[in-house]
Structure formats: structure tokens, C-alpha cells
Amino acid sequence: MLRFALRRLLIAIPLLVVASILVFVLVVNTGDPLEDMRTNPRIPKGQIALQEHKLGLDQPVTVRYWRWVSKAVHGDFGKDNKDRPVWPQVKRALFVTLRLVLLAQIIAVLIGVTIGVISAVRQYSWFDYAATGISFFLFSMPIVAVAAFLRYIGALRVNEWLGRTKNPLIKVQGDRTFPSKCTPNNPGACGLRAGLYDFATHALLPTLALLLITYAGYSRFQRASMLETLSSDYTRTARAKGITERRVIMRHAFRNSLIPVTTIMALDFGAIIGGAIITETIFEWRGMGRLLIDSINKIDPNILLCWLMITATCVIVFNIIADLLYAVLDPRIRLG
Amino acid sequence: MAEIITRQAVVEESTTPMPGPGPDREFTVEARSQWKTIVRRFVHHRLAMISLFLFVLLVIASIIGPPLWKYKFDQTLRKPAGSGPNWLSPTWEHPFGISRTGYDQLALVMRGLQYSIRIALVVVVVSTVLGVVIGAISGYFGKWIDTISMRFVDLMLIIPFQVAVACLQRNVKGSNWLWLALFLAGFSWMGLARIIRGEFLSLREKEFVEAARAVGAKPMRIIFRQILPNALGPIIVSATLAVGGAVLAEAALSFIGLGVKQPDTSLGFLIERGKGEAATKPYLFWWPVVILCIISLTVNFVGDGLRDAFDPRQNRVRA
Amino acid sequence: MSGEPILEVKDLTVGFPTDDGVVHAVRGVSYSVAAREVVGIVGESGCGKSVTSMAMMGLLPRTARIGGSIRFRGQELVGAPKKALRALRGSKIAMIFQDPMTAMNPVYTVGWQLGEALRAHSDLSGRAASKRAIELLDLVGIPQPERRAEQYPHEFSGGMRQRAMIAMAISNNPDVIIADEPTTALDVTVQAQVLETLLRLKDEVNAAIILITHDLGVVAGMVDDLKVMYAGRIVESGTVDDIFYRPRMPYTVGLLGSLPSAAGGTDRLTPIKGSPPSLLRLKPGCPFSARCPIVRDECLSVEPELAGVGPGHLAACVATDEVAAMANPKDMFHAPPLVVAGSEADT
């Protein structure tokens, strides 16, 4: 198993290299990061030339890429266009995104699987119809609509109803109250409880938005998977043994229905590290999604490549984890 | 990106277990009656039919609406003398209100819808062809061709397509919707390719393929004449669902400022313009959003209906 | 035939509501099984033979509409509480399924699955159950049972899996074993071994067997009493000799004619033309009339009841005398069937 994982990781290295080259070429050809400076007549030519040299714009693309690679393999992701180190920025965005998507993802999986299982066991009951209808609806909703609805209609109404229009309970902007430092003027940020409270009021809406569309997908998938195992021959055999229906459902149908869902779940966990661009945009969180868009807009290859390395590695690692989980859960699968 | 990727993954996987029109059934005498039953099953799917009707209605509105509607999308409206500050709000004259810059919002939305659908159709056609061809070749020939194609799929899945789209956007001057559609297609064929590859891996071992090979049929003929018709079910369902996916993907891109730009427009473009005023002038923001939701819902219902129609196991037993 | 009946089926009907209407899968089936008896049920797929046995096990989907009566040792099973049915399932009435490839859960070891069957009806400890599971595997003739018990179903061959299924079926000393096409998915050579094992163990645990099959060859050597089912009904019933040498129902004749080398050598195969009628909207009259070479006018209006044609021999046909008078009844299928208006096969 370890050998399998290691081999897969090794195979993935060329993939990372090719991806980074492509992304580098694309971003370099997107435009000129110094355009603002150049169009500003008050900035002297010499300063622009200096900046050009610093960013390596005067070098051929191959040289610039090589410079990046030779540093990156040592774990040094360099500095951005404004001369700030890249890694702390990416790390910060990574944590913001993790706080947002991890919680949403975990709750979505739990709710989705539970609802999917109940729906399948009680197929064609009113619960099934209601749950299937709701999840179909949410599954089809663009995230823009869900997030905007929560922000502009839901939060507004709830805050009004709570009588807190001046100092809204449910925050719609940012991932924390600014400034977040604990000072005498800002007692709201002091202590773990206050910090958690502050986080919760900010995280509620974006988490809910992600949760709603994500759970819907899982519940549909789990329902289909569970219906398949419930109608399988081995479930019939289990029933024929005379074991309790509960045991038939949990030990046979449910256990087996989790195999495909677990795989998808692992793949999704790898993908969410890239951030939730729309949600982060609407609720003004500065996570990985916004980082990607901002670095594209600023034509900042170093941030972009660091972003790519992190997200691509996550995708690859969780792909391997998905395969390993599959093999663990299904004895018929042999890793090769 | 999570929300996009996550849903793509789920959509892709949930279409995977769906069998085509019986892989062991050859495409011969039974074909006609089989298609008949599929059409019959689909027509009996009430929600799918209503959705199809609604969707077609929207498409027609987006085509014949702009020339018929009394206000044009580029016709500037003046603030009528003596009107209050709310003159932009919806009225019978302007059901969707008037945009900030003084255009009739209904005219703008109809035109945006037209562009969104146009983009989606190009994305679907191109990505379906790409997905089918790459998946089919990969699954049929196997070996190194398969390895290379699947590595290529992996590569495309980890490259953020926003970077490619941004590069395109900055380099294409003027109208860019077609380019945008082609780029989106270039980044959305991978799911279908994997499905088709899977189908081909199992179908190429079937007796009728052996038979075709035994009488000396060329690989391309076997792929497109013998195997592909058996995989039509998943292809049609996937293509249908992709229409909704493409409309949403374009809207998401335009929403973050990487989609179409003037002189083009789209639903996402309008949503992006209206988002600053979502709280104060909700009609500017919500109408395009609502249209977007309706498209996505109806397309998914139609796709669901098609899947049920193609799925022979779905002989629903009801109490 | 001999002894008290332990299982009595009377006027059993099963219907499945679908979007298009109710599918009448079983339409009034009656028979009984005595202790240690082997009863065979033959018929084409979709004739209701499997549905009948699933009804006995209480394994039909919730939506199924079941009528009539199934009595096991005097206890009514139709409409019985789920708990009572569950107590019988796997202990008093056990079942062996058709496809050993899919009938066992792929994610548990064979030993575990046997142990689960054992522990469902006893308070054996986990260790005792796995020990007994190994004994059972040994009993059904699986070599190296200790090692095999630790393996997963996919590591077993088809025949071995079916042996394991037999082990599971006999694990709680059942009174009745329902074997639903137990050898259909197996190689011919393996078929005989598995059947032999089944018969040997039946004697060991003193169980009766209901053997469901579409293969007359399988039942020929091992069955006491044979029922032929068509379109949800029993159309002929008797001993193997009755059915094989004195068939009175044209469908039985046709079934025998479709059997290669049943009567040895020179006979031509005589397939029955057409396919069974849809059980969704059954036309009045004998359901076989559309395919019957000796169809009469009355066959199109009234469905004949099972009636005695000899000692212990029943057939549901108005033309039993005609069939009895034929020197070689199979020949009737060589002639093109009479086409009577309104009797075209309902496809």
C-alpha cells in the first residue's frame, strides 16, 4: 500500500512540472504587471526599468521559469510583485479557506449521507419525495443565487427580526471583525470565547451557502448508491438469513453503499482546497479562491504558482487517498 | 473553485453508474422499438416535459424577444420630467426596471440570456465531441494511448481554467464570447471522456465487437458504428446536463470579472453589474439570477428525465 | 406424496403495481410440500416461479400485493408479522439463490457471512459461530475450510460459492430449502456436483426441497413431485414420470420438446414459437392459447382449471384427451400453429 502511494506520487511529479509550466506561460502572457506604473507619467523610466529587472521581466520566459523552479524545489516560493514573501500570504489564505470549506464539507457529508440513506430506505415515502425535491432544487441552484439570497435577503431579515440592524448579529462581510487584535478598544476579539463567537457570526452564512449546495449532491448520490445496494442480491441473501432488518440495512446495504460515496468524498476534499471563489467573493473572505483571482488580476506568477502547487498537490494526494480507501473498503480491488 | 469542482465531480459520478441502452443489446432490429420506449418513457416524465417546455420557451424568448420588445438594449432612456428618485424601478412599461446607465433591463436580460445560451451550446457541442473522441480512442485502443490521454485528463483537471480564460480575455480584443466558449469547452470535456472511456473498456470486449473485428472492420468503423451507439445514453444525458453546467460556469466566470466583456453580454455579466446594488436595487441583480436558476433547474430536470428514460432498471414500482 | 404436508400454498396471488398497471405475477397457485420431499417447479423465466418462493420467504417488495394463503406447519405466513417471518427465514425455511457471483456480500469473508446466518437464530458466541462455519464448509465439500473461511467470495469459484450458499442454507437445520435455479450459472460438470451435495445434505438435515428451475434436465433425476408453471399458474402437476412420459398440457409437451436429447437422440428439437404473454394486461382465456398448436375456440374465452388426468396427475387444459391420444405429442409443434383471429402473440 505504501509502495502504491509512493509510486503514484512519483508519477504525479511530471504532472506538477507540466502544469506549472503551462500556468506560468499563460500568466506571463496575460499582460504586463507594470502597466499601472508605465501609464503613470510621474514615475521615472529608470524606476520602471529597475522594477522590470527585479521581477525578471527583462529575461526570457524560460530563464524566469527556471529561476522559479530552482527555488521552489527547495521550498522557497519567492516574493510577489510587491516584494512581499509569497508563502505567508498563501498560508493565510489556505487557513481562511480551510475554516470555511472544511466545516461546510464535513457537515454536508454527514447530512447528505443521512438524508440519502433515509430516502432510499423509505423510497417513495413523503420524506423521500420532500428530501429528493429539496436536494434536487438546491443541487440545481447556482452558488451565486444561494449565497446572494443568504446575504441580501436571509441575513437582512433575520437581523431585522432580531432588532439588530445597527450591529447585525449575522455578519455578511469578511472572515472576522476588523481589527481582530485584542485591544482595550476592541474587547470583542479578546479570549477564545469571543474569538469563536466572532468567527461563528462571520462563518454562518458562507458555510451555510456551501453546505446547502454540497449536501444536495451527496444526498442524491448516497440515495442512488443505497438504492442500488438495497436491491442487490447480497442484501436479499442477508434478508433470507433472517437477520434483523436493521442489521440488513446497516451491515450490508449501508456498509456497501459507502464505497462509492467515500471515494467521491475523498476526491472532493482534495478539490475544495482551491477555495470557493463565488462564496468568497460574495462574503468577502480572502481565501484561496480570491487569492487565485487576485493573483491572476495582478499578473503575479509567483503567488499563482504557489497556489497551484498547493492545490494540485492536494488534488493528487486525495486522489491517491481515494484509491487507497477504495481498496480498503472493497476487498475485490487490488492496488496495482 | 470548490463549488464548481465539487459539483462537477458529483454530476459526473452520478451519471457513471447509469447503464446505456443495455450494453449487450446490439444496435439492430431491436433498436427502433428501444428508442421508441425511451421516447415514450421520457414523454411520460411530466416534470421533464414541463421543464423542456419552459426551457424552449426561454430560448425562444431570447431569440425573438429582443427584436419584438419595444425597447432595445442600446436605447438610452431619459429620466422623465417630474419623476421621483425611484424612476428606475420596475413598472408596466419596464417590467424588469431600468439599469443604472439608463437601459431597459428586460431588453438587457433577454440579450444576456441569448449570449449565455449561445455560449452554452458551443461549449456543449465542442466538449461533447472532445470528450467522446478522446474517451473512445483512449478506451478502445488502451495501452500507451490510454495512459497518455488519462494523464492529459489529470493535467487539465489541476490547471485552474481561470488562468487560461484570463490570458484569453486580455489578449482578444473586442467580442470574445466565442473564444470564451471554446476555452470553457477545452476545460470541460474530461468528465465525459472518463465516462466514455469506461463504457468503451467494457464494450470492446463484447461479442459483437469481436465479430466486427473478425470480419475485418477498421478500428474507426468499430468505434463509431458498433460501440458508440451503445454508449449514446450516457452521452445524451451528459450533454443535456452540460448545457446547465456551461451556463453556470460562464456566469461564475463573468461574475468574477473573467468572462465576457463589452460589447458582448451574458447573464453572468448582468449579475456582476448588478451585484453592487443587490440590496438597494434588487431587480437589477435578481432578474438575471432568477433566469439563471430557471435554466439550471429545467435543464437538470430534462437530464433527469432522460436518464430515467434510458435506464432500463427504472421500472418504477409504486404503492 | 408421503407424510404430513409441512408447507401448504393455497390460491396464492401476487401482484406488483407499476406505473402502467398491476403486473399479476402469480395468479392462484396451490401446492403442498411434505417433509423430506423434493418438489420441482419448472417454467420459463417470468412465469412466477421465483415470485412464489419469495412470497414464502416474505422477501417480496413492500409494494407487492399478496393474496391467498401459505401455511408452514399450520402457521399462516401471508400477512404474518414481520418478526414472525424473520424468525422462520434462514432457520426453518432457507433459500439458495441463482447467481452465486452476486448472492454473497463482497466485502465480508465467507466465514463471517456463514457465522452471521448461524448467529441470527442462536446465541452462539462469535468464536463458536466461526468454528461451526468451518465445519459447515467442510460438510459441503470445500477443501481447506479453515483457510477458505477467511477468504472473500470473489476468491471462490462459482461452484464453491454455491456450496458455501448451501452451507449457509443448512446452517440452522431448516425444514424446507428453496433452491432457486441453484445451478443455472454453473458449468455443467459443476452443476452435477452441486446438486449431489444438495441432495446429500438434505438427507442429513431432513429438509424438504423446493427446486425451482427452467431446466427439465436438472429435475429429472432428483424430484419426487413436479409442477409446471406458465403465466403465473401451475398448468400441470405430477410425478416426473407423469410429466416426462405422459404430458397432457401442450405447454409441457413444448417444454419437453425444447429439451435436447430428453428422449434420446433422433428427435428433432421442437421449440415453442412466440413468447409468454405480458402479465400486465392478460387477455381472457388460456394464456398459452396464442402459442398453442391445438388451440380451440373455447381456449380463447375460458381459462381451464387444473383437473385430474390420472392418479396424482393434474393438468389445466381442455384438450388433455386429445394430447393423451397422440402417439407422439411433440409433433404438434412441427405443424404451423392455427391462426385464430384475435390470438396473435401479445408482444
For B29-78, how does the pLDDT look when each residue is reduced to its tens digit (9 = 90+)? 445 567 777 777 777 777 888 888 888 888 888 888 777 777 776 667 66
Nearest to B119 by CA among B227, B249, B5, B12: B249
Nearest-angstrom CA–CA distance, B164 and B249: 14
Q: What pLDDT score does B79 carry?
A: 65
Residue positions counted in chain A: 336
Q: What pLDDT score does A111 carry?
A: 94
Identify from B30, B316, B317 which residue to disrupt to test chain C contact, counting C C-beta atoms within 10 A and taking the largest count. Answer: B317
In chain C, CATH 3.40.50.300 sits at 5-227, 231-346
3-class state of residue B166 by DSSP: helix
Instruction: Give chains near C: 3+ CB pairs under 8 A.
Output: A, B
Nearest-angstrom CA–CA distance, C149 and C330: 49
Per residue in A278-291, pLDDT (tens digit) is 888 888 888 898 89
pLDDT at A295 over 50: yes
pLDDT at B281 over 50: yes
Q: What pLDDT score does C147 carry?
A: 92
**Residue indicated by cell numbers 489578449:** B171
For chain B, what are the domain ranges?
33-62+103-310
Indicate the pairing of strand C65-72 with strand C225-230: unpaired
Evaluate whether C308 touches C265 at the Cβ level (below 8 Å).
Answer: no
Binary contact (B318, C16; C-beta < 8 A): no
The pTM assigned to this predicted structure is: 0.83
Q: Who among C99, C103, C120 is closest to A242 (CB)? A: C120
Percent of chain B with pLDDT over 90: 3
Mean pLDDT of chain B: 76
Instruction: For residue B44, give the chain C residue with the closest CA.
Output: C19
Q: Which pairs with CB-CB distance under 8 Å and at least 24 residues apart come from C111-115?
A: C111/C137, C111/C148, C111/C149, C111/C150, C113/C153, C113/C164, C113/C168, C114/C149, C114/C164, C114/C167, C114/C168, C114/C171
Distance from CA of B316 to the nearest CA of C (A): 6
Instruction: For residue A258, give the chain C residue with the closest CA.
Output: C107
Instruction: For residue A230, give the chain C residue with the closest CA.
Output: C61
Identify from C16, C19, C65, C278 which residue to disrupt to test chain B contact, counting B C-beta atoms within 10 A and taking the largest count. Answer: C19
Binary contact (C97, A256; C-beta < 8 A): no
Instruction: For residue C62, give the chain B residue with the closest CA.
Output: B319
Nearest-angstrom CA–CA distance, A200 and A203: 5
Q: At C288, which amino acid appears?
A: F
Q: Where are the alpha helices (DSSP H) in B187-281?
A: 190-203, 207-214, 219-221, 232-255, 267-274
Per residue in A143-180, pLDDT (tens digit) is 888 888 888 887 777 777 777 766 676 777 776 666 56
Query: Phi, psi at residue A147, to the nearest 5°?
Result: -65, -45
pLDDT at B91 over 60: yes
Binary contact (C99, A238; C-beta < 8 A): no
Per-window interface: A 278-297 vs B, CB < 8 A = 278-279, 281-282, 289, 292-293, 296-297
Whether C161 and chain A come into contact, CB under 8 Å, resolves to no
Count CB atoms within 10 A of the CB of residue A198. Answer: 17
Q: Who among A26, A225, A275 is closest to B1 (CB)? A: A275
Identify from C104, C107, C177 which residue to disrupt to test chain A contact, counting A C-beta atoms within 10 A and taking the largest count. Answer: C107
Q: Residue B207, exposed/middle/buried by CB under 10 A (0-12, 13-18, 19+)?
A: exposed
Distance from CA of A324 to the nearest CA of C (A): 15
Nearest-angstrom CA–CA distance, C115 and A158: 56
Fold for B33-62+103-310, please state it: MetI-like fold (1.10.3720)
Instruction: Give chains near B: 3+ CB pairs under 8 A.
Output: A, C
Distance from CA of A26 to the nearest CA of B (A): 6
Nearest-angstrom CA–CA distance, C116 and C340: 57
Q: Who among A234, A242, A252 is closest to C90 (CB)? A: A242
Nearest-angstrom CA–CA distance, A16 and B232: 34
Nearest-angstrom CA–CA distance, C342 and C347: 13
Chain centroid to Cα C164, Å, comes to 20
Nearest-angstrom CA–CA distance, C195 and C183: 8
Range of the domain at A243: 2-335
Binary contact (B1, A213; C-beta < 8 A): no
| DSSP-assigned letters across all residues of C324-335 | HH-SSGGGGGTS
Whether C87 and chain A come into contact, CB under 8 Å, resolves to yes
Distance from CA of C342 to the nearest CA of A (A): 39
pLDDT at B223 over 70: yes
Per-window interface: A 54-93 vs B, CB < 8 A = none
Q: Which chain B residues have a beta carbon less than 8 Å from that of C14?
A: none
Domain containing residue A219: CATH number: 1.10.3720.10
Nearest to C44 by CA among C258, C243, C198, C225: C258
Percent of chain B with pLDDT over 70: 77
Count of domains for chain A: 1
**Cell, residue B80:** 422623465
Q: Which chain C residues have a beta carbon less than 8 Å from that of B316?
A: 18-19
Per residue in A216-267, pLDDT (tens digit) is 989 988 998 898 898 888 999 999 998 888 999 999 999 999 988 888 888 8
Distance from CA of B319 to the nearest CA of C (A): 5
Instruction: For residue C18, give the chain B residue with the closest CA.
Output: B317
Instruction: For residue B293, give the chain A residue with the closest CA.
Output: A141
Binary contact (B9, A271; C-beta < 8 A): yes
Architecture of domain C5-227 in CATH?
3-Layer(aba) Sandwich (3.40)
Whether A67 and chain C come into contact, CB under 8 Å, resolves to no
Q: What pLDDT score does C336 carry?
A: 53
Provide the pLDDT confidence category of residue B16 given band limits of 50, 70 and 90. very low
Instruction: For residue B33, give the chain C residue with the closest CA.
Output: C347
Q: Who among B151, B164, B271 is closest to A144 (CB)? A: B271
Nearest-angstrom CA–CA distance, C115 and C117: 5
Identify from B15, B148, B161, B163 which residue to disrupt to test chain A contact, counting A C-beta atoms within 10 A and taking the largest count. Answer: B163
Fold for C231-346, please state it: Rossmann fold (3.40.50)
Residue B64: HSE in the Cβ half-sphere, 13 Å Cα cutoff = 5
Q: Which residues of chain C have pLDDT under 70?
A: 1-3, 259-270, 334-347
Provide the pLDDT confidence category of residue A118 given band limits of 50, 70 and 90. very high
Nearest-angstrom CA–CA distance, B65 and B55: 14
Q: Where are the alpha helices (DSSP H) in chain C?
A: 49-57, 82-88, 110-120, 126-139, 145-149, 158-170, 188-205, 216-220, 240-245, 250-257, 320-325
Nearest-angstrom CA–CA distance, C305 and C313: 13
Nearest to B11 by CA among B20, B23, B3, B22: B3
Binary contact (C89, A239; C-beta < 8 A): yes
Q: What pLDDT score does C303 carry?
A: 84
Binary contact (C90, A243; C-beta < 8 A): yes
Binary contact (A15, B155; C-beta < 8 A): yes
Query: Phi, psi at residue C33, to the nearest 5°?
Result: -125, 125
Indicate the pairing of strand C208-213 with strand C176-180: parallel
Mean pLDDT of chain A: 84
Cβ-Cβ pairs closer than 8 A, A with B, add up to 165
Binary contact (C16, B317; C-beta < 8 A): yes
pLDDT at A189 over 80: no
Whether C97 and chain A come into contact, CB under 8 Å, resolves to yes
Q: Which chain C residues have a beta carbon less than 8 Å from that of A241?
A: 89-90, 116-117, 120, 168
Instruction: For residue C152, give the chain A residue with the closest CA.
Output: A331
Per residue in A195-229, pLDDT (tens digit) is 777 777 788 888 888 898 889 989 988 998 898 89
Per-window interface: B 34-63 vs C, CB < 8 A = 44
Q: Which chain B residues have a beta carbon less than 8 Å from that of C18?
A: 315-318
Instruction: For residue B152, give the chain A residue with the closest CA.
Output: A15
Q: What pLDDT score does A181 carry?
A: 64
